[in-house]
Chain A
Amino acid sequence: MSNFFSENADIQFQFNRIDLSEIIQIREDDYKQAEQYSFAPRDYEDAKDNFKRILEVVGDIAGNFVAERAREVDELGSTFEDGVVTYAKGLQEAMIRLNQAGLMGFILERKYGGLNLPISIYIFAIEMVSRGDASLMNLFGLQDISETIENYGSEEIKAEFLPKFSTGEVTGAMVLTEPDAGSDLQAVKTRAYQDENGNWFLSGVKRFITNGNADVNLVLARSEEGTRDGRGLSLFVCYGDDTVQIRRIEHKLGIKGSPTCEMQFHDTPAQLIGQRKRGLVAYVMALMNGARLGVAAQALGIAQAAYVEARRYAQEREQFGKPILNFPAVADMLIKMKVDLESSRTLIYATARAVDMHKVSEMELERLKAANESFVEMKDQAKHWKAIADFLTPLSKYVISEKANRICYDAIQIHGGTGYMHEFNVERHYRDVRITNIYEGTSQLQVIAAIGGVIKGVFDEQFDAFEAHEYRHEARQLANKLKKIRVLMDKCKVHVLDKEDKAYQELHSAELVEMYGSIYVGYLILEEAAENSRKMLIAKKYIMDALATAMHHTESITRGFDTLFADVDQILTKE
């Protein structure tokens, strides 16, 4: 029994230091919403107090209710019979509980029954829910579906659907993937067509749809006959009524509580979201970015759960007359896990804040335009935050989901043979975490999404500012190491770009993204260390490791094979 919010020191640390004042002031219309809604905050301090109280409720539900049911949910999984999907009992109970607490309209506006909370607070909640049960995240953590309707739907559509999401009356699914359109969504074939009165209908097959049995579906479909690429796709909303047939659910490695469905649309009545042809290029990209950050938080939550199990086991388990925690090899694994967890939190909350800043900048921009006021400055600000959010979101998803996999892997290693057994939770965490670097875009795709930011140098100015900052004592030495990483990073970047070889650039994008990201996170942890001396230890380990990795990458990029592609057939023999 524990509260995943109030009893997690690092979450407390991040929560206490996050400054959302600018964001909340705009989201709360200068705190005028308090005049209309009794639960709206009256000032920033009041807002932060609300956040704390709400996250305590989430932390209590996740720690004391959801976590207790996770094993059984994993064992039962979702079931499929006569075309009907049934959630495991524990998952149903958890959903009821989240609804009772009023947590399903987390990020929606109050006029649609929502809580009007920023993404930053939502990410805390997703992390904790996922720690309790990774599969529940796919019901609680995909509220980006309703947010997409809020952002791009017509007023009628919003009024029809959003209040139902807020009360928990309906759940949603994002219905994108098809048998031949996975990472490459431009290949989507599901057809959207209109009758003579202009009503839209959907027809086609979708696969691997998380929670495809939902009440409301957001569907990507080809509305422009004869087109073949992303520009022929539009986004639709429809009910999961009788015309939507669930053909099967998948038997998966992990997140078994969350049903993954194959769906067939038989002339399903649907409504267009936003404008035609903008489905993939505008709306789905925004939707996916939100979901990517959610998955990063999911990975982080699972990794936290695995770490806690491993840490406890290492202390309790005695071999050769002492707890295995006292063996350097074991302690080293745990230290690495802990540093990965804390640095991941530093990264994800910086990312969430950037996403919030981008969102409120856009809101302000719209307001200024509507009021006929000067908006040039705000336009620049919105652009600035968009570039940062667009870089940090895939970076977070990539780095955190990969690290979370490593953490769960090591958590089993620390348990030894016991950890391989079903009776121990780490076995479940290891299976659950495996999807996080695959769905919502594989790690490889995240790198492609992030590399542009590295090439453009989105953080270059900020790095200059960090470098100009006067650090003291230990922090100075570490700041010097970060400078060194940047020198190496620039050297690699120049080397890669000078080749003018797209394949070579793609080959080394991951290393460049990783190095660039580590400089940013390194400076953020140094800022944290100025407030908390324990964090200096985290900074030290993080930065020293990042430097070693950067040296390794530099060696491999600048002195390694130019490209292996020329020899690919010789190396990859069939057996």
Chain B
Amino acid sequence: MSLHTIVLVKQVPDTSNISGEVMRPDGTVNRARLPAIFNPEDQEALELALRLKDKHGGKVTALTMGPPNAANMLRECLYMGADRAILVSDRRFAAADTLATSYALHKAVHRIGKYDLIFGGRQAIDGDTAQVGPQTAEKLGIPQITYTLEVQELDLKKRTIRAKRAIKNGYEILESPLPVLLTVTKDAAEPRPFDVRRLCTYKRAQSRFEIEATVDDSHDLVWMDELLEKAKTSDLLIETWNIEDIDADVEMCGLAGSPTKVHKVENVILSGAEYKAVPATSEGMNDMIAELMRDHIFG
């Protein structure tokens, strides 16, 4: 049986490159000005999935829930080697917290059908919650291995996977039956570069939104269908699903399905006013280390 891996990916604002233009005068970040990038840990998750495909064959499907422009990241998945890209996008998904997001994703996974593995990044750099992977696994009723550092063995006959995961002060090795969801920590697998042949091919891959944008009023819906069909037959369609396509309950999606409410946003300003001189002696160093350990900054 051939291996089918689904990779959960997310397009995020590049929070690592916050420059002057992006900061508002009140100290908050203007997200619209930040470039959108492939969430780094999701890219590593895709790399791990592709390495398993290199070794065992099979298929990799990239799945995201996001705004229409997340198609850019899905194209990057295709450039790296994903076989199929799915964009779950609908205005009614907007403002989803992790619960509503994992709900929609698990519905999308149901629609995809059979799979052996699901990979995702540990967390996204915009929210840093690390909840969507685990919640999706729970909703799908499958085991999960979080903080994966390395896949050590995949046995398709026994249908098991062995992975090394990070824990505090070390690592542990877990074995799980398939299907299983794994979240991947950074530095697990340096993502491969784009394959230039795939790049020149899939630069033409388009989502339904993008195809719609090329159709003006003078065209009819039949024309649109023809374009979609053409993209599909030439393997250049980024499948685009809305709430109905994944058979989701509207009440459980977007803002309505999100119990998380932001109570208050506070600016934390770290002032450099206070400082403490540490004498440059072993004693001074030891005192400082002891103090940091007391404050649970170390250890």
- What is the interface of chain A, defined by CB distance below 8 A to chain B? 38-41, 49-50, 53-54, 57, 60-61, 65, 97, 100-103, 115
When C-beta atoms are compared, the residue in chain A nearest to B192 turns out to be A100
Other-chain contact of A61, B193, B195, B199 (Cβ < 8 Å):
B193
Contact across chains for A101 and B203 when beta carbons are under 8 A apart: no
Additional pairs, 10, CB under 8 Å, beyond known A38-B200, A53-B203, A57-B193: A38-B201, A39-B199, A39-B200, A39-B201, A50-B203, A53-B196, A60-B193, A97-B192, A100-B195, A103-B196
Q: A190 to B147: give the CA distance in the assembly, Å.
A: 60
Q: Are A49 and B203 in contact (CB under 8 A)?
A: yes
The 7 closest A-B pairs by CB, nearest first: A39-B200, A38-B201, A101-B193, A39-B197, A39-B201, A50-B200, A100-B192
CB contacts (< 8 Å) of B196 on chain A: these are 39, 53-54, 57, 101-103, 115
Of the A-B pairs whose beta carbons lie under 8 Å apart in the complex, a sample of 25, sorted by A's number, is A38-B235, A39-B196, A39-B197, A39-B198, A39-B199, A39-B200, A39-B201, A40-B200, A49-B203, A50-B199, A50-B200, A53-B200, A53-B203, A54-B196, A54-B200, A60-B193, A61-B193, A65-B193, A97-B192, A100-B192, A101-B194, A102-B195, A102-B196, A115-B196, A115-B197
The residues of B that contact A115 with a CB separation of less than 8 Å are 196-197
Residues of A within 8 A of B199 (CB): 39, 50, 53-54, 57
Contact surface of B with A, Cβ cutoff 8 Å: 192-201, 203, 234-235
- Which of B195, B234, B235: most chain A Cβ within 10 A? B195
Chain A residue contacts of B192, Cβ below 8 A: 97, 100-101
**A contact residues around B234 at 8 Å (CB):** 38
User: Which residue of A40, A41, A60, A101 contacts B195 across the interface (Cβ within 8 Å)?
Assistant: A101
Q: What residues of chain B lie closer than 8 Å to A100, measured between beta carbons?
A: 192-193, 195
CA distance A57 to B199 in the complex (A): 10
In the complex, A40 Cα to B201 Cα: how many Å?
8
Q: Could you tell me the distance in whole angstroms from the C-beta of B70 to the nearest C-beta in chain A?
A: 20
Chain B residues near A53: list those with CB within 8 A: 196, 199-200, 203
Residue of A nearest to B80 (CB): A100
Collect the chain B residues with CB atoms within 8 Å of residue A65's CB. Answer: 193
Task: For A57, list chain B residues within 8 Å (CB).
Answer: 193-194, 196, 199
Please, how many angstroms separate the alpha-carbon atoms of A413 and B215 in the complex? 61
A97 contacts B193, CB within 8 Å? yes
Closest to B195 in A: A102
Can you name the residue of chain B whose Cβ is closest to the Cβ of A41?
B200
In this complex, what residue of A is CB-closest to B81? A100
A530 to B48 alpha-carbon distance, docked (Å): 51
The number of inter-chain residue pairs (CB within 8 angstroms) is 47
Give bound CA distance, A416 to B192, whole Å.
Answer: 40
Instruction: Indicate the member of B192, B193, B198, B235 with the most A CB atoms within 10 Å.
Output: B193
**Assembly CA distance A329 to B88 (angstroms):** 61
In Å, the complex CA distance between A100 and B234 comes to 24
Residues in B neighbouring A103, C-beta threshold 8 A? 196
CA of A100 to CA of B50, assembled, Å:
12
**Complex: A40 Cα to B200 Cα, angstroms:** 7
> In the bound complex, how far is the Cα of B194 from the Cα of A50, in angstroms?
13
- Quick one: closest B residue to A100, CB to CB? B192
Q: Which residues of A contact B200 (CB under 8 A)?
A: 38-41, 50, 53-54
Minimum C-beta distance from B10 to chain A (A): 22
Per the bound structure, the CA–CA distance linking A38 and B196 in Å amounts to 12
B258–chain A nearest beta-carbon distance, Å: 37
B83 to chain A, nearest CB (A): 14
Interface centre among A40, A49, A53, A61 (most CB of B within 10 A): A53
Considering the complex, give the chain B residue whose CB is closest to the CB of A55. Answer: B196
Which residues of chain B are near A60, meaning CB under 8 Å?
A: 193
Return the chain B residue nearest A51 by Cβ.
Answer: B200
Q: In the complex, what's the smallest C-beta–C-beta distance from A125 to chain B, in angstroms?
A: 11
Residues of chain A contacted by B198 (CB below 8 angstroms):
39, 102
| A54 to B201 Cα, complex, angstroms | 12
Report the bound CA distance from A61 to B197 in whole Å.
16
What's the nearest-Cβ distance from chain A to residue B155, in Å?
A: 26
Chain A residues lying within 8 Å of B193, measured Cβ to Cβ, are 57, 60-61, 65, 97, 100-101
Question: Who on chain B is nearest to A49 by CB?
Answer: B203
* Least Cβ–Cβ distance between A192 and chain B, in angstroms: 37
Query: In the bound complex, what is the Cα–Cα distance between A123 and B194 (angstroms)?
Result: 20
| Closest chain B CB from A371 CB (angstroms) | 30
**Chain A residues whose C-beta falls within 8 Å of the C-beta of B201 in the assembled complex:** 38-39
Q: Kindly state the separation between the CA atoms of A100 and B80 in the bound complex, as whole angstroms.
A: 9
Distance in Å from the Cβ of B209 to the closest Cβ of chain A? 21
Minimum C-beta distance from A207 to chain B (A): 36
Bound: A39/B201 CA distance, A: 4
Q: Which of A39, A57, A115 has the most CB of B within 10 A?
A: A39
- In angstroms, Cα B203 to Cα A207, docked, is 46
Output the least CB separation between B193 and chain A (Å).
4
User: Could you say which residues of chain A place their CB within 8 Å of the CB of B194?
Assistant: 57, 101
Considering the chains assembled together, what is the distance between the CA atoms of A157 and B203 in angstroms? Answer: 34
Chain B residues near A40 (CB, 8 Å)?
200
Q: Looking at the assembled complex, report how far the CB atom of A54 sits from the nearest CB atom of chain B, in whole angstroms.
A: 5
CB distance from A237 to the nearest CB of B (A): 26
Q: Which residues of A contact B203 (CB under 8 A)?
A: 49-50, 53
In angstroms, Cα B41 to Cα A102, docked, is: 24
A85 to B235, CA, bound (A): 44
A37 to chain B, nearest CB (A): 8
Max chain A Cβ within 10 angstroms of own Cβ: one of B194, B195, B199, B200: B200
Residue of B196, B201, B234 ringed by the most chain A CB atoms within 10 A: B196
Q: How far is the CB of B269 from chain A (nearest CB, A)?
A: 30
Give the shortest distance, in Å, between A241 (CB) and chain B (any CB): 28
Q: How far is the CB of B205 from chain A (nearest CB, A)?
A: 11
Quote the shortest CB–CB distance from B134 to chain A (angstroms): 31
Q: Give every chain B residue within 8 A of A102 (Cβ-Cβ).
A: 195-198
Rounded to whole angstroms, the CA-CA distance of A382 and B14 in the bound complex is 51
CA distance A54 to B199 in the complex (A): 8
Q: Once the chains are docked, how many angstroms separate the CA of A60 from the CA of B283? A: 47
Q: How many Å from the CB of A59 to the closest CB on chain B?
A: 11
* Distance in angstroms between the alpha carbons of A60 and B193 in the assembled complex: 9
Using Cβ atoms and an 8 Å threshold, which residues of chain B touch A54? 196, 199-200
Bound complex: CA A60 to CA B190 (Å): 14
B53 to chain A: closest CB distance in Å?
Answer: 13
**How far apart are the CA atoms of A40 and B196 in the complex, in Å?**
11
Write the chain B residue with the least CB distance to A38: B201
How long is the Cα–Cα vector from A50 to B202 in the complex, in angstroms? 11
Say how far A195's CB is from chain B's closest CB, in angstroms.
Answer: 42
Chain B residue nearest in CB terms to A97: B193
B197 surroundings in chain A (CB, below 8 A): 39, 102, 115
Task: Kindly state the separation between the CA atoms of A40 and B195 in the bound complex, as whole angstroms.
Answer: 14
- Determine the distance from Cα of A39 to Cα of B195 in the docked complex, in whole angstroms: 11
What distance in Å separates the Cβ of A103 from its nearest Cβ neighbour in chain B?
6
C-alpha gap A100/B79 in the complex (Å) = 11
Give the distance in Å from the alpha carbon of A103 to the alpha carbon of B194 in the complex.
10
CB distance from B191 to the nearest CB of A (A): 10
Which chain B residue shows the least CB distance to A42?
B204
Docked CA distance A102–B235 (Å): 20
Min distance, Cβ B25 to any Cβ of chain A, angstroms:
30
